[in-house]
Amino acid sequence: MASEKIRKVVEMSGISFGVRVGKQGNRKSWSLSRLGTRFWSWFWFILGALYFLLPLYATANFSLRMERDVIGFKAYIRAFEDPEFLKTFLYSNVLALLTIVASIILIVPTAYWIRLRLPEARRIVEFITLLPFVVPAIILVFGLIRIYSSPIKIPFTDTTLFQPLTTFEVGTDILIVAGYMVLGLPYMYRSVDTGMRTVDVRTLTEAAQSLGASWFTIIVRVILPNIRAALLSGALLTFAIVVGEVTLASFLGVPAFGPYLFLLGQHRAYEPAALSFASFLLTWVAMGLIQLFTGGQGQAAGAH
């Protein structure tokens, strides 16, 4: 115990690790190499910081120079005043919200049921949640268009169940929300599953059942509040994927923010820079909130 304490004190003073045996010369080389390590650490860190910050600085700087020789927010005002911006941005936010709600409704009961009753389904469900990594957005939308641009028939008959989803607005909206749910599936499922690991689902369920709660009540009033941090992190990650998404939105032809920004970039210079910087800030807010609610377990998504 005492030696443990001494080691801790020595370590806190930041001298060196090798206080026990070690030859004299050897110890010297270690602390020397630690000095070198610190130099290189700073070097790489500063390089990384520059890589992070320079493009942001350049974008912000550029976006503020719409008027010659004046630093001002004109590009931002112009960009935000465009009614088309407001429309597409709102639309993308609604899509994100729908995707999040639908994902929660689909995934929470599934993950709950697997944890409680059906552990044998875990492998196959986890496998499915990994599939979106194998099927990139461009391939997914390709397949979705090919399947849902023709009428949906009951197999082996000529009875039409649905008109092609891509031919009417609500149909396309359903399709794109489903597509976004697929893109967000790995992150949402993992978030929810990790969240459930930390609460004792079985005991909570038994307690709720003995008080006469229905399945619906258990999930909505017992399970959901207990995994709200995980839900929030999954939701924000999904939000970050959906709001600026381009691939699905442009191929399905919906009036979303991503395609709008892309088109704006074709014939304007300053407004797109302003919106790019603004969407960076938005991503920042979403990720910052995740950090805040999950205590630093950053996650990474992939809708590139």
Least distance between other proteins and beta carbon 152 (Å) = 10
Distance in Å, CB of 288 to other proteins, minimum = 7
Shortest reach from residue 221's CB to other proteins, in Å? 16
CB 94, min distance to other proteins, A: 19
Residues 6 or more apart from 232 whose CB is under 8 A from it? 289, 290, 293
Q: Give me the least distance between CB of 268 and other proteins, in Å please.
A: 11
Cα(151)–Cα(153) distance, integer angstroms: 6
- Report the residue number, 44 or 73, with the smaller CB distance to other proteins: 44
Rounded least distance, CB 109 to other proteins, Å: 7
Reference 227, options 203, 204, 252, 199; nearest CA is 199
**In angstroms, what is the minimal distance from the CB of 235 to other proteins?**
14
